[in-house]
Amino acid sequence: MRLLIVGTLEGYISAAGKIALQKGAKVAHTDSIDGAMNALRTGQGADLVMIDVKLDVGMLVDHLKNERFAVPVVACGVGTDAQAAVRAIRAGAKEYIPLPPDANLIAAVLEAVAEESHAIVSRDPAMAATLAMADQIAPSDASVLITGESGTGKELMARYLHRKSRRANAPFVSVNCAAIPENLLESELFGHEKGAFTGAVARRIGKFEEANGGTLLLDEISEMDLRLQAKLLRAIQERVIDRVGGSQPVKVDIRILATSNRDMLSEAKAGRFREDLYFRLNVVSLNLPPLRERPADIALLCRHFATKYSEANGLPPRTVGPDAMTMLQAHYWRGNVRELENTMHRAVLLSRGTEIGPEAILLTGAEPSYTAPPAAPAVAPAAARAAASYGNAGGYAPPPAYQPPPTQPAPVIPTMPGMGGADGGTRGLVGRTVADVERDLIIDTLKHTLGNRTHAANILGISIRTLRNKLKEYSEGGVAVPPPASGVDAEAMG
């Protein structure tokens, strides 16, 4: 955990830094927003930024966004000034910490950031074999290609490999190759010199240099342009990079991990990915099984997410009722763990009691239910030894073989007011278009949240931008859209 503290606060910041150091964080300090940005540009890196609320929190958040630094921001201030806390949260801070600092609160914030990035929750034998192989290869410096469907946890696996490696105390740096425009990705990876192109107002260290001594994750590498793949191949082979606009090569010492949700060998054969780069990355391959092939993990993950989002929303602990669990175990889970997490977040918010029932489970899609095999096939000796090794090393005890429920009812999508028939299923939806059903679901969810756009977007599992665009479309089409909740959606309305 790398913590960057911005501000002075009459010595209270120093006290917060000392507490963070005692909790194992690496702490750096600067007095100003410009100093913070310079530190990040020069490759210092941070997993969390803590800023004095007297400084311009919104300016820092905007600078981070404009320069593509994906770092969460926490504001802190002396006393319990509620207005200052509200302003900081609206400006983009994830949390507000009152000072003088409380050791337990600082520890909780650090642990929350770490847990969000690192937790792997699993007990299914199919996943145990994958984790066993990960344990075996983690101490090496070999490049690893992590594949699997979207939402299976490929980045979590990359972080797991880093934590188990000899580079665990060095930086872990991730770059999403699909999220950055092609013309900017080269600068993001290799850095640039001041004036190298329009907008290059200062020298910036790229991800390769920021990760020096540690691990670099190239997320969704199959989305990278072929031209840039050639430069990447040289950097991996030679361990030397060239900044954009630079004249001197820069040596780097990093371990490369890469992820993709595609069949990379097929991509290489089709000419959409360089074959030589594929073989350079694929020293070891880890394939993460989809959630529907990890039936023993579904109940475990449901309980984990129910607890997580109950605490996150300040609600009493929620448990998953047997009828709801039957629905969840019968679902196809096209979106894998990510879809399950969103489903449980909605369920926690919609549940009317401490037990989550079927009425709170809003499942996406209408896939046929997945029926797991009655018993796992015989495991190859190597995989069996790997699973046993994992159990001895990490305390893993394989659960009894998964037995599917005696009956697997087809998934039912509970209706909201005005959507379904009297039977509470999908019969009342027959004859209606998908667009009409989607519109009613969005409008009814917005009514449920009393106009709170952010809350509604979280329940629906969509981004606030998508929700805003939908509401604009409905409003222009003459549909009555609930007004925003007073004082809570200024950013969402922007």
Instruction: Please give the domain boundaries of the chain with CATH numbers for all domains.
Output: 2-118 (3.40.50.2300), 143-282 (3.40.50.300), 292-369+411-476 (1.10.8.60)
- pLDDT (average), residues 30-40: 90
Write down the pLDDT at residue 82: 76
- Average pLDDT over the chain, rounded to whole? 81
**Distance in angstroms (rounded) separating the CA atoms of residues 467 and 439:** 11
Q: Can you tell me the distance from the alpha carbon of 89 to that of 101, in angstroms, rounded to the nearest whole number? A: 18
Report the first-to-last Cα separation within the chain, whole angstroms: 33
User: Rounded to an integer, what is the distance from CA 206 to the centroid of its chain?
Assistant: 22
Task: Based on DSSP, count helices (H) and strands (E) in the chain, helices before strands.
Answer: 20, 14
Residue 301 has pLDDT above 70, yes or no: yes
Whether the predicted pLDDT of 386 surpasses 90: no
- pLDDT 10s digits, 168-192: 888 899 999 998 888 889 999 999 9
Does 141 score more than 90 pLDDT?
yes
pLDDT per position as a tens digit, 422-443: 344 455 566 677 788 888 889 8
Q: Which residue has the higher pLDDT, 78 or 226?
A: 226
* pLDDT reported for residue 70: 79
**493 contacts 453 by C-beta, under 8 angstroms:** yes
Read off φ and ψ for residue 250, nearest 5 degrees: -120, 125
Question: The pTM is what?
Answer: 0.62
* Closest by Cα among 157, 163, 253 to 214: 253
Q: Check the CA dihedral 358-364-368-371 and report its sign.
A: negative
Integer Cα distance of 486 and 455 in angstroms? 13
Question: Is the pLDDT confidence value at 131 over 90?
Answer: yes
